[in-house]
Amino acid sequence: MQLGSLRLQRLPSAHPGIAFAARAAAILIALLVAGVGVAISGMNPFELGGRVISASFGSSFGIEDLCVLVIPLILTGLAVAVGQQIGIWNIGAEGQFYAGAFAASAVGLFVPGPQWMVLILMFGAGFVGGMVWILVPTLARAYANVNELITTLLLNFVATLLVYYVSTGPWRDRSGMANSATPPLSAEVPSFWGIVHWGFPIAIGLAILVAAALAYSRWGYEVRLVGSNPSAARYVGIPVRKHLITVMLLSGGIAGLAGMLEIAGTVHRLQGGISNSFGYLGIMVAVLARGSPIGVIFSGALMAFILNSGIILQTQGLTTSVVLAITGFILFLTAIGDELSYYRVTRERA
């Protein structure tokens, strides 16, 4: 493309600095638009902003809330990011989250035994629950090349219905007044600072572990190769199908673990709507991090702040659906910015 003596040139790979700047710009523009929207509806955006900042960072309670919110966001973001490494779009993290929570609750409610043993079983059940939930999309993708985007997504609705059914039906707490949740689980992930439980270091540790495995292990190298060029990977004899299956199952398992930690560490019982759209926001977390498992820790923290702001502002007559709308807008601008970061402006020599 030519503009006078300036020439727009598309490079084969994106400039990471520009991609990063585009993300920052996307978030700023989205917040600006949100602020204007707030102003139009008759509220003072600066006052609301100040309230959000003081409620989030003004007390240790605010920071504890943020740390608790960041756990599922890092994990669902990590689940999506792991898939992206091999070129898979797992947008079913929401369903795997519920499936993990469901399986872990089953253990927590019905398996007797000492706390530590039940807790370990719950970890396993959460991970396996998520894996089971992504199993059919995985096999369909690996053996019949069925697009995983839609299959993973549709199962979200099934998982939500399943959790809603058991928590208002067979597993309902019959002792108290709450009839839309299960009784408290017998085991819980212990807290180490206020309400912040051990899920926090586990989530960060898992992100670092996955990042290290991808960067330094043979498995990681092969997975990244498949992700960047599947046919080249096949020609050099890399077992593409096997890697596809393991990565997708890992992705589902991590999302399931997010669900397990949410019920075992934060909510302590299973109920409908335990996920604040964590699975969908995880897509955003992964995209902001450009699919990097380490980056997910930081974009997860950012997303936790945005989500927490929405929750704080609920008392001001806003809903968390505003957060969803703003997130979508950021995602949209990021997608445009990502494409623009492939371009370079050069000066035409006469």
Q: Per CB under 8 A, which region of 122-130, 189-197, 253-261, 328-336 contacts other proteins?
A: 328-336
Taking the C-alpha atoms of residue 85 and residue 118, their distance in angstroms, rounded to an integer, is 33
Answer yes or no whether residue 193 interacts with other proteins by CB under 8 A. no
**Residues 77-96, mask of contacts with other proteins (x by CB under 8 A):** ------------x-x-----
53 contacts: CB under 8 Å, gap ≥ 6: none
Among 4, 17, 42, 169, contact with other proteins (rule: CB under 8 A): 169
Q: Per CB under 8 A, which region of 55-63, 194-202, 290-298, 332-340 contacts other proteins?
A: 332-340
Answer yes or no whether residue 145 interacts with other proteins by CB under 8 A. yes
Among 6, 161, 195, 212, contact with other proteins (rule: CB under 8 A): 161
Indicate the residue among 13 and 145 with the shorter CB distance to other proteins: 145
Answer yes or no whether residue 147 interacts with other proteins by CB under 8 A. yes
CB of 350 to other proteins, least distance (A): 21
Q: Phi first, then psi: what are they for 297, rounded to 5°?
A: -60, -45
Indicate the residue among 66 and 324 with the shorter CB distance to other proteins: 324
Answer yes or no whether residue 332 interacts with other proteins by CB under 8 A. yes
Answer yes or no whether residue 47 interacts with other proteins by CB under 8 A. no
Q: Per CB under 8 A, which region of 126-134, 174-182, 231-239, 331-339 contacts other proteins?
A: 331-339
Answer yes or no whether residue 150 interacts with other proteins by CB under 8 A. yes
Indicate the residue among 280 and 305 with the shorter CB distance to other proteins: 280
| Secondary structure of residue 216 in the 3-state scheme | helix
Enumerate residues 253-312 that contact other proteins by CB under 8 A: 280, 283-284, 287
Count Cβ atoms within 10 A of the Cβ of residue 109 and give its class: 0-12 exposed, 13-18 middle, 19 or more buried. Answer: middle
Taking the C-alpha atoms of residue 252 and residue 97, their distance in angstroms, rounded to an integer, is 8
Indicate the residue among 98 and 123 with the shorter CB distance to other proteins: 98
Answer yes or no whether residue 53 interacts with other proteins by CB under 8 A. no
At 317, which amino acid appears? G
**Separation in Å, CA 16 to CA 20, 124, 140:** 6, 37, 34
Return the ∠ at Cα 159 (arms to 136 and 287), rounded to 5°: 75
| Secondary structure of residue 23 in the 3-state scheme | helix
Strand partners, 7: 2, 346
Answer yes or no whether residue 112 interacts with other proteins by CB under 8 A. no
Q: Per-residue DSSP letters for 135-190?
A: HHHHHHHHHH---HHHHHHHHHHHHHHHHHHHHHTTT---SSS--SBPPPPS--PP
Among 321, 344, 346, 348, contact with other proteins (rule: CB under 8 A): 321
Indicate the residue among 71 and 283 with the shorter CB distance to other proteins: 283
Taking the C-alpha atoms of residue 153 and residue 166, their distance in angstroms, rounded to an integer, is 21
Count Cβ atoms within 10 A of the Cβ of residue 345 and give its class: 0-12 exposed, 13-18 middle, 19 or more buried. Answer: exposed
Answer yes or no whether residue 16 interacts with other proteins by CB under 8 A. no
Neighbours of 311 (CB within 10 A): 17
CB of 12 to other proteins, least distance (A): 10
Q: Which residue ranges make up the site for other proteins (CB under 8 A)?
A: 1, 10, 89, 91, 136-137, 140, 144-147, 149-151, 153-158, 161-162, 164-165, 169, 280, 283-284, 287, 318-319, 321-329, 331-332, 334-336, 338-340
